[in-house]
Structure 1
Amino acid sequence: MDGMRRFGWKKFAIAAVVLLGFVWVLGPRKEDVIPEKYIPSIAEPYFSYNPPSHTTLPPPNRPQPTSPQHPSNDEDIVSNPKPRPTSYETDPDHYKTVYCTKPFKPDLPLVQYALMIDAGSTGSRIHIYKFNNCGASPSYEYEVFKQTKPGLSKFEKNPLGAAMSLDILLDEAVKVVPQALQKCTPVAVKATAGLRLLGGPESEEILEAVRHRLHEKYPFNLQEKDGVVIMDGSDEGVYAWITANYLLKTIRADTPEGTTPYAVLDLGGASTQIVFEPTFDMSKPDNTLEEGEHKYDLKFSGKDYVLYQHSYLGYGLMKAREHVHRLVEFMGSFHKVGAKDIVGNPCLARGTKREVTIKDESTGQEKNVTMVGEDIGGFDSCNRVIELVMAKDSICEVKPCSFNGVYQPSLLETFPKGNILLLSYFYDRLRPLIPSTSTSPIHISTIATLAKQVCLGKPEWEKHWGDDHELMKELEGRPEWCLDLTFMHALLRLGYEFGSERTVEIGKQIEGTELGWCLGATIAMVGADLKCRV
């Protein structure tokens, strides 16, 4: 999809000028978002994506220590185990497991580790997972997590530097994984939207440098086919859906029939994903999920799911910021007074300022502009700008659409009461503003309320969060927090058309395990025949 359709701002330039006029004129101012059997080789991924994708994963349930899983191996199951470890620190023996004394298959090790590196747009993160082989398929126990910044895409002209940026993560894996198991520990590096946007030869040079360094410097078993790749956005969303619903126990083999899995919305730096299982009123003719890449057929724990998924490239939080700043600067040029490179920005909190880099998409030239909130900063004014970025009125070829002309079944009709889980930047921006004692779901209207409070600037911050000195420091250092919250609210209300009173949950971890796509992708990776590095 070309840039014009993807971001929509050029298409609405004229409308933008008119709309900004209302914003600036009417706004106040001082002056003027496994298989049930093993697959042949670990080099063959469980997710064979050939839209519509047909995927089979194993039942990934953890063994139940108090009841034998397999009668033939009863004598090998630990009936009164030590407390289940939930972290590396609480694990009594990193070579063994508390669940059994022998593996289900004699040719497998008792425990197995797996490494997944999430090479995102703003940073890279390693997930070091421990599994046991007490059952017919590997069972997950816990993870060790570490992250670093910046992301691989920031090394556009320095592939070796990109590869070396992962050393701090892989060095941690060398410390965590027992030495005798390292050659049998699979590792994968999956890049997401940052490298997708970089594209072309630059991305491939970075990926090749990462492959070479992994082979030369580290002992782990790098997958031959999908070891270092740019992951398809559809897989990213579905893997995150699997991770969350597996940990929330809504898609396991023993999950009660009729349980509705959570809808999972992930907000990264360069892209955002939505995945849910829609249900249709079959009494209405032709009331089904349209065919296309958005349709994802999944078999997991012996059950079939037909999911809707879409990854919006260019609508991650950092990209949204870029589009808003560029649009504000473009519109501000029509009525600018005073300093040449100072622009009033309604999406910055009042009384704050931020120097931003504006890149001209047609020429590639960059310039630095000082954005100031002043008295024009506010939720309503910012929301008007973000509405243009969302391109809600783009042509909808297959109805109904969410935004930017993308087909999506109505959430009101096909997912009216299901739970909704928000991940990544949703959590990072919302959690600090909500009382730490609160674990209840929040209404989407609450996000609007928080955005209004943050956008009004420091006097309002002191009124609501004055006792939290760390948060006050964060708010002062991030003038775009106003923009971030307003975009998140617009994504949910205007984009996906959730009702304002719909409740959502925000999450980062469940039982010490990071939410996101990595665990789902790793379950697929360790479900293959074990290979060890020669």
Structure 2
Amino acid sequence: MFSPRSSNYERLEGGMGPSRLGVRNFAWKKLAIAVTVLVGLVWFFQPTERTLWGTKEPVWTGPVKTGIDYDPLPPPYPTPHEDDVAAPTHTTPSVPRPTSFESDPDPLKTVYCTTPHSSTTRLVQYALMIDAGSTGSRIHIYKFHNCGPSPTYEYEVFRQTKPGLSAYSGKPEQAAASLDKLLDVALQIVPEALRKCTPVAVKATAGLRLLGQAQSAEILAAVRHRLETQYPFPFPSAGADAVSIMDGKDEGVYAWITANYLLDTIRADSPPDAQRYAVLDLGGASTQIVFEPVFDTTKPDSALQDGEHKYELKFGGRTHVLYQHSYLGYGLMRARRGVHKLVDFMSTMRTSGGGRSEIANPCLSRGTKRVVDILGPTPDKDRKVAMAGEDIGGFESCNRVVELVMAKDAICEVKPCSFDGVYQPSLLDTFPNGKILLLSYFYDRTKPLLPTPFPDLTIATLAELATDVCLGRPSWEKRWAGNADALEELENRPEYCLDLTFMHALLRLGYEFGDARQVEIGKQINGTELGWALGAAIAMVGGELECKV
């Protein structure tokens, strides 16, 4: 259903930036680690059956979060890209439909009509959404038309640059200037006559959150000033939030809107019984889950608990009550650092502490080595440590370390919980057969290792991939014999074992999906990047817009 790797969306490898605050928090819960380390050491050296820790239970009982009320959007009527599998089809106009800037006959016009639906709107509307993520900054340049009562999406142009804003700690002006190459692309795409009416927003995500309030505020202020003084694009009417750190709940909900809008499950003309997708996004610093639970009303207490996790979304003429949560510190890059720190800590328990030239790490593929950064309690205590997979690298032994980091047995104040003591309705009970879409690193790490066309992908598939990857090169050459791309993907990436193991643990242990549960991975639908950006842009162009003087 989803496209193969996008040629313009590079893998998000590396890019961790110098942020320290969040990682120290992620290296967290020393007391819990101290209590569990003996169990971890036993598991580390002795084969055992994998077990799930604890039972589900939740935290927080605050007020209901009311989401944004959107006007229903007409379908985008895209033509599939050659690498895409088409989303659901509609009855469409019998005219050529541009699906990219290159195929657009006139960026100032649209093929759908010659005059806008309302005299107060422009025929064509562009919008710029900059995703300032933890591993890089990306710009989404969207074209909409106003042939109907609300803006209709046509296509996007996407570019990215590395590193992200969080890599410029203490250098706010350099951080702001790093976005120039993205905004220069926007100048090339957006017709000059429309630039002063093309809104721009910069939404920073988990990476900048982890940098700390003072430094992140300096960077955002510098970005805002540069946009105001160096570029013609205006901020949307609600300009106070135009350059800001996005709330984790909005990030997840916008991604849910994007995917379900493109997959034709929430539009005004979508079938009333359309099965909506749960969207799980795995970034560098955080991970999000958003789904629409369905409760058995015949049972007592069968409703979504009130709290920040509850998001009421009015879209396409319907009201959707969503569950959402963003786990800050459980993105892939932060998980790596947490695992490495725990392995280093466990190593000190087995030795006198001196003369350790290399530490055995079960989460590195066998026969591979990596020098990793271990963050101390203060920056002057940071260390570089050489680690090696040696002969202990393996999915089962790595999984036992990951389980400690996952904090599955954390105190659960409001039940049921997923992990880290966070309330979440049981997916088994409230979303037993719903479709699941995995984004970002879930896609980047699994797609290169899968055959084409895509096989049916299950949670167990991730465990199988992790098992073979963790066993090292002889296993790679056996499983991926003749697949030069897969072998190249694994080359010089010892942490691929850790990445796949963590992803499996997140789905199996954290969210408690069964091994046989089918999932889908995605990067694009009909040439449009999946993620939160389109959903946020839809909200932006659906509001009041003012042109820059």
Structure 2 residue aligned with 1:75? none
Structure 2 residue aligned with 1:237? 252
Structure 1 residue aligned with 2:441? 425
Q: Distance in 1 between matches of 2:274 and 2:220?
A: 41
Contact 2:23 2:338 in 1 (8 A): no
Change (3 A) 1:409 1:80: closer
Structure 1 residue aligned with 2:81? none
Structure 1 residue aligned with 2:52? none
Q: Distance in 2 between matches of 1:64 and 1:326?
A: 49
Question: Aligned pair 1:304/2:319, yes or no?
Answer: yes
Structure 2 residue aligned with 1:117? 130
Structure 2 residue aligned with 1:321? 336
Structure 1 residue aligned with 2:116? 103
Q: Distance in 1 between matches of 2:333 and 2:97?
A: 39
* Amino acid across the alignment from 2:405: V
Q: Distance in 2 between matches of 1:461 and 1:80?
A: 49
Report the Cα offset of residue 360 of structure 1: 1.3
Q: Distance in 1 between matches of 2:93 and 2:349?
A: 74
Contact 1:4 1:10 in 2 (8 A): no
Q: Distance in 2 between matches of 1:63 and 1:394?
A: 44
Q: 2:398 aligns with which of 382, 386, 399?
A: 382
Report the Cα offset of residue 8 of structure 1: 5.1
Report the Cα offset of residue 219 of structure 1: 1.0
Report the Cα offset of residue 92 of structure 1: 1.0
Structure 1 residue aligned with 2:34? 14
Contact 1:115 1:127 in 2 (8 A): yes
Structure 2 residue aligned with 1:480? 495
* Amino acid across the alignment from 2:429: E
Q: 2:474 aligns with which of 439, 459, 462?
A: 459
Structure 2 residue aligned with 1:69? none
Contact 1:104 1:134 in 2 (8 A): yes
Report the Cα offset of residue 411 of structure 1: 0.2
Contact 1:492 1:498 in 2 (8 A): yes
Report the Cα offset of residue 199 of structure 1: 1.8
Report the Cα offset of residue 62 of structure 1: 3.2
Structure 1 residue aligned with 2:504? 489
Contact 2:40 2:404 in 1 (8 A): no
Contact 1:251 1:261 in 2 (8 A): yes
Deviation digits for residues 415-458 of structure 1 (CA, Å, limit 9, x no counterpart):
000000000000000001111222x5411101000000000000
Structure 2 residue aligned with 1:395? 411
Task: Say which SS state the counterpart of residue 351 (structure 1) adopts.
Answer: coil
Structure 2 residue aligned with 1:172? 185
Q: Distance in 2 between matches of 1:470 and 1:413?
A: 40
Task: Say which SS state the counterpart of residue 319 (structure 2) adopts.
Answer: strand
Change (3 A) 1:88 1:121: same
Contact 2:286 2:331 in 1 (8 A): yes
Task: Say which SS state the counterpart of residue 62 (structure 1) adopts.
Answer: coil
* Amino acid across the alignment from 1:366: D
Structure 2 residue aligned with 1:352? 368
Report the Cα offset of residue 519 of structure 1: 0.2
Contact 2:176 2:223 in 1 (8 A): yes
Change (3 A) 1:251 1:24: closer
Q: Distance in 2 between matches of 1:374 and 1:9?
A: 28
Structure 2 residue aligned with 1:201? 214
Task: Say which SS state the counterpart of residue 225 (structure 1) adopts.
Answer: helix
Change (3 A) 1:377 1:303: same
* Amino acid across the alignment from 1:240: A
Q: Distance in 2 between matches of 1:80 and 1:154?
A: 47
Q: Distance in 2 between matches of 1:93 and 1:265?
A: 37
Deviation digits for residues 134-159 of structure 1 (CA, Å, limit 9, x no counterpart):
01111000000001111101101111
Structure 1 residue aligned with 2:540? 525
Report the Cα offset of residue 4 of structure 1: 9.3
Higher relative contact order (CA 8 A, sep 6+): 2
Contact 1:262 1:421 in 2 (8 A): yes
Contact 2:364 2:496 in 1 (8 A): yes
Task: Say which SS state the counterpart of residue 17 (structure 1) adopts.
Answer: helix
Question: Aligned pair 1:191/2:211, yes or no?
Answer: no
Contact 2:22 2:211 in 1 (8 A): no
Q: Distance in 2 between matches of 1:172 and 1:363?
A: 38
Please identify, of 5-14 and 379-388, the stretch whose mean Cα deviation from structure 2 is larger: 5-14
Report the Cα offset of residue 382 of structure 1: 0.3
Q: 2:157 aligns with which of 144, 155, 160?
A: 144
Contact 2:369 2:388 in 1 (8 A): yes
Report the Cα offset of residue 111 of structure 1: 0.5
Change (3 A) 1:7 1:339: closer
Deviation digits for residues 374-430 of structure 1 (CA, Å, limit 9, x no counterpart):
001000000000000000011100000000000000000000000000000000000
Question: Aligned pair 1:436/2:456, yes or no?
Answer: no
Structure 1 residue aligned with 2:53? none
Report the Cα offset of residue 15 of structure 1: 3.8
Structure 2 residue aligned with 1:31? none
Q: Distance in 1 between matches of 2:98 and 2:524?
A: 16
Task: Say which SS state the counterpart of residue 171 (structure 1) adopts.
Answer: helix
Question: Aligned pair 1:469/2:484, yes or no?
Answer: yes
* Amino acid across the alignment from 1:169: L
Deviation digits for residues 296-318 of structure 1 (CA, Å, limit 9, x no counterpart):
00000110000000000000000
Contiguous gaps of at least 5 residues in structure 1: 29-49, 66-78
Report the Cα offset of residue 9 of structure 1: 4.3
| Identity among equivalent pairs (%) | 63
Correspondences of 1:248-259 after superposition (within 5 Å)? 248-259=263-274
Contact 1:9 1:389 in 2 (8 A): no
Report the Cα offset of residue 371 of structure 1: 1.0
Report the Cα offset of residue 217 of structure 1: 1.3
* Amino acid across the alignment from 1:17: V
* Amino acid across the alignment from 1:389: V
Q: Distance in 2 between matches of 1:63 and 1:246?
A: 9
Question: Aligned pair 1:512/2:527, yes or no?
Answer: yes
Contact 1:119 1:151 in 2 (8 A): yes
Change (3 A) 1:98 1:446: same
Contact 2:201 2:235 in 1 (8 A): yes
Change (3 A) 1:2 1:346: closer
Q: 2:243 aligns with which of 225, 228, 246?
A: 228
Contact 2:44 2:400 in 1 (8 A): no
Contact 1:9 1:327 in 2 (8 A): no
Change (3 A) 1:24 1:523: closer
Contact 1:118 1:124 in 2 (8 A): yes
* Amino acid across the alignment from 2:176: A
Deviation digits for residues 147-187 of structure 1 (CA, Å, limit 9, x no counterpart):
11111011011111111111111011000111111110000
* Amino acid across the alignment from 1:142: Y
Report the Cα offset of residue 26 of structure 1: 2.8
RMSD: 2.1
Q: Distance in 1 between matches of 2:457 and 2:299?
A: 33
* Amino acid across the alignment from 1:207: L
Contact 2:364 2:393 in 1 (8 A): yes
Structure 2 residue aligned with 1:133? 146
Q: Distance in 2 between matches of 1:296 and 1:120?
A: 23
Normalised TM-score (structure 2): 0.88
Please identify, of 329-338 and 373-382, the stretch whose mean Cα deviation from structure 2 is larger: 329-338
Question: Aligned pair 1:58/2:71, yes or no?
Answer: yes
Q: Distance in 2 between matches of 1:478 and 1:364?
A: 28
Structure 1 residue aligned with 2:429? 413
* Amino acid across the alignment from 2:304: L
Q: Distance in 2 between matches of 1:320 and 1:99?
A: 47
Report the Cα offset of residue 216 of structure 1: 1.5
Task: Say which SS state the counterpart of residue 477 (structure 1) adopts.
Answer: coil
Give the aligned length: 500
